[in-house]
Amino acid sequence: MDLLQLLISGLANGCVYGLIGLGFVLIYKATESVNFAQGDMMMLGAFITLGLTNQSYVGLPFWLAVILAIVIMGILGYLLEVVFIRPMFGQSQIAVVILTIAIGFVARFVAGLIWGHEPQSLENPFVGKDVGFGGLVLGLDEVVIIGTTLALTGGLYLFFAYTRIGLAMQAASQNQLAAYYMGIPVKRIHSLVWALAGALAAIAGVLFASKGAIDPSTGLLGIKAFAAAIIGGFGSLPGALLGGLVVGLIEPLSSRYVAAGVSQIMPYLMLLLVLILRPHGLLSQVKAKKV
């Protein structure tokens, strides 16, 4: 039972990594550059929710705060693309990557200014509650995290497979030139992808904050999620989730069965291993183009 609880808690952590990883992969697939501010966007999403709902700040109802934070982060993602990323079109990938790193710094700085650098907890309806599943006692927060991630995954799948905009996002990421030729407004699609990544970051942030305290440097977790996404296969959305789950599980298991400190480096050891054995990640999506 103890081990099972450990696994569930690892899985819940993994879900958060996976959701941040989804944001990385979404933007990467659409624009072929990596948004290193993805983790910081998650942190901002968490702090916006905290600022809106905690009694010491605005004190709105929790769910209202969550919805507002998702909307605000969606708009922020959209604007980041329009104001900073789009003008860089045609520049080298490295320039874009450095720009996103800078955006991350600014996000941490601004969060520090508004909410301070002390760790704070998000007041939420799940904290400290348990649910029992036939003898197995799980934290409600963990159940909520896993459930939300499952629902989001299903929702995203339906979105990409069946909606006109979702299909257009796929199309633009598979063949940008052809998307132009078909009259798909590729630039607007890119902005929408950033908006989606922002909204996802907000959800990941709320889930993360429902488990523990956050501070402005929480977003550095994004690096681990990035590694996890590469482990899973950076070009693939299911891969990003899988990578997150693998890392989430590996951490508690390695600190239990190997040594306490090892869990810190395990994700990166795994990363090296995967890169050597399966350079495109566990679920790679590489197919050659004909003629």
Partner 1 sequence: MGEPLLKIDNLESYYGPIMAIRGVSLEVNEGQIVTVLGANGAGKTTLMKTICGVMDPEKGTVKLNGQEIQGQDPDFSVRHGIVQVPEGREIFPLMSVEDNLRMGAFTRKDRSNIAADIEMVYGYFPILKERAQQDAGTLSGGQQQMLAIGRGLMAKPKIMLLDEPSLGLSPLLTKEIFAIVKRLNKEQKVTMLVVEQNAKIALDTAHYGYVMELGRIVMGGPAEKLRESKDIQEFYLGQRSEGERAQRRWKNRKTWR
Phi-psi region of 84 (alpha: psi -120 to 50; beta: other; left: phi over 0): alpha
CB of 18 to partner 1, least distance (A): 21
Distance CA 96, CA 89 (A): 9
CB of 237 to partner 1, least distance (A): 12
CB of 254 to partner 1, least distance (A): 35
Nearer to partner 1, 5 or 285 (CB): 285
C-alpha distances in Å from residue 12, one per residue of 19, 113, 244:
11, 30, 10
* Cβ–Cβ < 8 Å for 222, 38: yes
Q: Which of residues 98-157 bind partner 1 (CB under 8 A)?
A: none
Q: Which among 186, 189, 164, 168 has a CA at the least distance from the CA of 177?
A: 186
Nearer to partner 1, 148 or 176 (CB): 176
Nearer to partner 1, 22 or 266 (CB): 22
CB of 21 to partner 1, least distance (A): 19
Q: Which residues contact 24 (CB under 8 A, 6 or more apart)?
A: 34, 35, 38, 222, 225, 226, 229, 234, 240
Q: Which of residues 148-207 bind partner 1 (CB under 8 A)?
A: 164, 167-168, 170-171, 174-175, 177-185
Nearer to partner 1, 153 or 170 (CB): 170
Binding site for partner 1 (CB under 8 A): 164, 167-168, 170-171, 174-175, 177-185, 285, 287-291
